[in-house]
Structure 1
């Protein structure tokens, strides 16, 4: 079978994912003369997208009065067959999209956003049943398209940026060939002009050194560079509609800003954009209208300023409250318990059964009553002007959820499954027991000495205490303070180079040094390609440094052979950026997590099934996930499985390489709370790598800022975010978008 390309073709020799395959062809009416004039590219696959069946009897939504819609969708339903009966992923949504307009669809993982987007290209998935009253694009009826007609539209009429760049890009083809595919298939330029056009497209997508990158393979690029190459590929044929499914997920803030500027420029030139995103800051910057999706339906729709500035539906308010901000540091972000069956994933999954009546959001709604379990809520106007689905509008508006997050409550003893409630953590840069802020001054001084301090970790382990001025790491007395302050990881003058495609050596890491203390969270911040992930690989011992060394728990680490390191592997665990490429696609979730418990075999997995379910509960997944395979999970669910796997051997250090980059804001909030709880309860140290400034500020005690392989600034999170000294750090903060 072949991997489906959003540019109109299929790639032989690669394995399909569920959302990218399609069942066999179905007879449809012959194309009209206008349709026959569209260029058709022969597809080696004998299959066709799932048939779209008209669903009569439901009146279409009114068209916007300002412009003729480029895309019209009325009453779209998408269901998937399962052993327990059909599951409705999309349940009757309608939308309009005019040229030069951006509609953003936001919501949690599993809410139906990506299925909606893929249905517009005939790529809903294997066995999918797609029906709608009307689906029209640029005057063409999408319900009547044959396979060859879909191929003519994909890439040329509708371009798509998929969420997972490493899976979407062919690992056997160079990046330049990927971008050139749409140019060749749709005959956009002469063959001799394709290399120049590819170089221009990569440059437009802000890919540095486009000539060099075009000759590289996807695995040789960072996550951000792969995502930019995918965007260049989607824009190659100049489609009038761009469907962008999480287009900036893997991008740092400066590159994100450039990509959003590029999308905004295309929008001004008349390109319509359907933006699928969990990043409300991105939505605020680009979208004209917002549709908030939960359980396969739009629960709130309106102008961007209406929805984000004055949210009406409790779910919309929950999403906004989960965004990490300066005022949320040291406080809980999530409102939903992480125990199995009680998290957002369980609530969403439980609301998607075909034929299930009532409001999908009722298990989490603060104003739900008995009627909400029986009647599907209608759409009613809110005070802001947005449309909201609710049965109780008379009580909905007074029930404004606080935008401020609730502080952590006191707890004692070991952590139970799910995020345990703990005390407020002291703000980074402020020593516990020093309310006058002297700790902040001391933290700011660390930028001068280049050394992070353990005061915050000490405070977490022992409670408020007076911190001795000028104390060096490990210089306190042999008590709980010494345990918390001990150095668990030390990196000294690491250097690493890699061969480039032209034969030269390219420097990835240049003289990086730092210390990580027990219970500390050290954030590593920087643009894509700055060396962050290479530092993680060096720390994990996955690649050998050219120079410098790493010590773990006071013992040599990088200098040892892997056979010697194996006995201590459980002490340091990795949560990778791209879980789909890290997992064995043949294994179930139970086996993936069980391997980290030393139980990879099926019999051993059954014996540890209770412990594996408990680990899944910590990250908000229920036991129904145990027998699923990676391809059957959403992007956010896969990332949570990766975190559960890292927690399994009870490590001293977790290296987190973009651990929440693929998660929607509510699940991101839950996972950040899980990490914070693990630090508080178990003293686990975190090396937290991210391009998300809000996440780094929220989770980190101290921060390193990297550029071109080197650390250009370091200090406490509070001092660095409030008074950055390095112009590069200032530029990062300036580029940070904010929701609302």
Structure 2
């Protein structure tokens, strides 16, 4: 008997169909991955499988059964009986999903209270058993802790334990690894695979084909609410039939795209940069040279010191030791007044581009301000040229940040940086919130701008796949220190450090072997 069977599912908002005629099933012990970009309808489909579709939605389905129980016309009362017991949900952001005022144990035990499963002793045993099942270290201690006291990976394990505590045969994991570092992501994927191998059915929703490839038995590809392709994971990844699937795979494939380049003059030199926050060493003895027309990739996980290095390079943080030289002038340490006349030479493109734009200002005003600061004309022609430089139409100038897609907002942030006529761009996780095809287009844009303008770039990311697509040299950081450094092709072809190999494994699109 299938863990879940769906036939002819449609979800509409007024006259707009958001999920169109979806048919699917998942067997016990199987992982079905649902992949697609933002707006494909993945999370909306999941909401219908939980009886949680938005009130404004009209849901119609020919068949919907969970564990053999007909749920096509189920009441809300019936859904409450099923949720948590027959199907468990693991959502994307564990920090926002877990109540910050409740201890982990109280959070995990809640489904048992709701469904009145067991006495107090049985419930405590089940909570510890669920934590043990998700390989939570020191579970007896974790139940007394609050979410903010756990790392991102441990919070995600706690969330999975909460979904498993009532022993549902079906687990839905909606983008559970998106916000996690590569090595933590790998541990969570291994955990989900082990749960399926233990007999549970798992629906794994993701936009990341690299993650999907590691664990999925079957893959269902969605685009604009419809299923465009479905099949055995290995077959689909090796020989995709639909053009959209091929586009996703191409955008997700690890490839070293930055060819050899004749390095120019030295633009920036960092020498023995060290930063301490109290007694903790955040960055230790980081040194590198950036030359004209080249890109240096700085890769590592959260907390490795990447963004701290970026802050030092921008002059917003003074190192405890070491120096940064910009075009043969001492840059940091140094006074802000001394830096001001050269501030336009080095510009930052931040991770959350929409948040970096004034929400009350139009794109025109954002770019006009940057042009005026640079001492340039801020007329409509200049703004249109900036937008054209980043492949945006002129009418985008009238929009506000909330009216932009993620990719458009990132392009506007790049255009604002270009308005200052910089020689160096520092890009701090500029692609992490974007779909893979949008990432590929932004990488193409950055490569073109580098060719046309002779820009030097420092590209910071936790994802070696995107670093490989742009960087000529790479610097791998772990716990504030550089563990490997050199030519991108040489390091990625033959990594010497175990941590580099682990990051590479997480970034590689390799179908699992059944």
TM band (smaller chain)? 0.7 to 0.9
State the Cα deviation string for residues 612-654 of structure 1 (Å, max 9, x = none).
7963883678957964664x77xxx325413431332313333
Where does residue 478 of structure 2 map in the other structure? 707
The secondary structure found in structure 1 opposite 2:447 is: helix
Corresponding position: 1:204 with 2:132: no
In structure 2, which of residues 408, 416, 429 is the aligned counterpart of residue 648 of structure 1? 416
Aligned positions of 1:436-447 closer than 5 A: none
In structure 1, which of residues 225, 243, 246 is the aligned counterpart of residue 172 of structure 2? 243
Offset of residue 707 of structure 1: 1.6
Distance 1:202 1:530 in 2: 29
- Using the size of structure 2 for normalisation, the TM-score is 0.80
Aligned positions of 1:106-505 closer than 5 A: 106-125=35-54, 127-138=56-67, 139=69, 141=71, 143-146=73-76, 157-163=86-92, 168=96, 173=100, 177=103, 180-184=106-110, 186-187=112-113, 197=128, 200=131, 204=135, 217=148, 225-226=151-152, 229-238=155-164, 239-326=168-255, 329-330=257-258, 426-427=259-260, 456-458=261-263, 484-487=264-267, 489-498=268-277, 505=279
Corresponding position: 1:662 with 2:433: yes
Offset of residue 212 of structure 1: 13
Corresponding position: 1:720 with 2:494: no
Offset of residue 158 of structure 1: 4.0
Distance 2:104 2:131 in 1: 14
Offset of residue 676 of structure 1: 1.1
Where does residue 500 of structure 2 map in the other structure? 729
Q: In 2, are the aligned partners of 1:278 and 1:663 still within 8 Å (CA)? A: no
Distance 1:715 1:213 in 2: 45
* Uncovered stretches (5+) of structure 1, i.e. residues with no partner: 1-67, 331-425, 428-455, 459-483, 500-504, 601-605
State the Cα deviation string for residues 480-508 of structure 1 (Å, max 9, x = none).
xxxx3232x33232223346xxxxx3332
Distance 1:101 1:525 in 2: 34
Kindly tell me: are residues 611 and 110 of structure 1, through their superposed partners in 2, closer, same or farther at Cα, counting changes over 3 Å?
farther
Kindly tell me: are residues 670 and 734 of structure 1, through their superposed partners in 2, closer, same or farther at Cα, counting changes over 3 Å?
closer
Distance 1:132 1:301 in 2: 20
Kindly tell me: are residues 233 and 615 of structure 1, through their superposed partners in 2, closer, same or farther at Cα, counting changes over 3 Å?
farther
Kindly tell me: are residues 736 and 578 of structure 1, through their superposed partners in 2, closer, same or farther at Cα, counting changes over 3 Å?
same
Offset of residue 298 of structure 1: 0.7
Offset of residue 111 of structure 1: 2.2
State the Cα deviation string for residues 230-258 of structure 1 (Å, max 9, x = none).
35324323054333333333444333322
Kindly tell me: are residues 217 and 124 of structure 1, through their superposed partners in 2, closer, same or farther at Cα, counting changes over 3 Å?
same
Where does residue 447 of structure 2 map in the other structure? 676
Distance 1:153 1:622 in 2: 51
Q: In 2, are the aligned partners of 1:102 and 1:274 still within 8 Å (CA)? A: yes
Aligned positions of 1:611-626 closer than 5 A: 611=383, 615=387, 618=390
The secondary structure found in structure 1 opposite 2:34 is: strand
Where does residue 306 of structure 2 map in the other structure? 532
Offset of residue 297 of structure 1: 0.6
Distance 1:257 1:321 in 2: 21
Kindly tell me: are residues 265 and 203 of structure 1, through their superposed partners in 2, closer, same or farther at Cα, counting changes over 3 Å?
closer
- Using the size of structure 1 for normalisation, the TM-score is 0.58
Q: In 1, are the aligned partners of 2:390 and 2:415 still within 8 Å (CA)? A: no
Distance 2:17 2:231 in 1: 24
Q: Whose strand proportion is higher, 1 or 2?
A: 2
The secondary structure found in structure 2 opposite 1:649 is: helix
Distance 2:452 2:245 in 1: 31
Distance 2:195 2:340 in 1: 51
The secondary structure found in structure 1 opposite 2:433 is: coil
Distance 2:227 2:62 in 1: 17
Aligned positions of 1:58-137 closer than 5 A: 68-80=1-13, 86-125=15-54, 127-137=56-66
* Uncovered stretches (5+) of structure 2, i.e. residues with no partner: none
Kindly tell me: are residues 509 and 266 of structure 1, through their superposed partners in 2, closer, same or farther at Cα, counting changes over 3 Å?
same
Distance 1:596 1:242 in 2: 50
Distance 2:318 2:80 in 1: 46
Kindly tell me: are residues 263 and 492 of structure 1, through their superposed partners in 2, closer, same or farther at Cα, counting changes over 3 Å?
same
Distance 1:621 1:158 in 2: 46
Say how many residue pairs are matched: 494
Q: In 1, are the aligned partners of 2:298 and 2:460 still within 8 Å (CA)? A: yes
Offset of residue 290 of structure 1: 1.1
Distance 1:693 1:641 in 2: 23
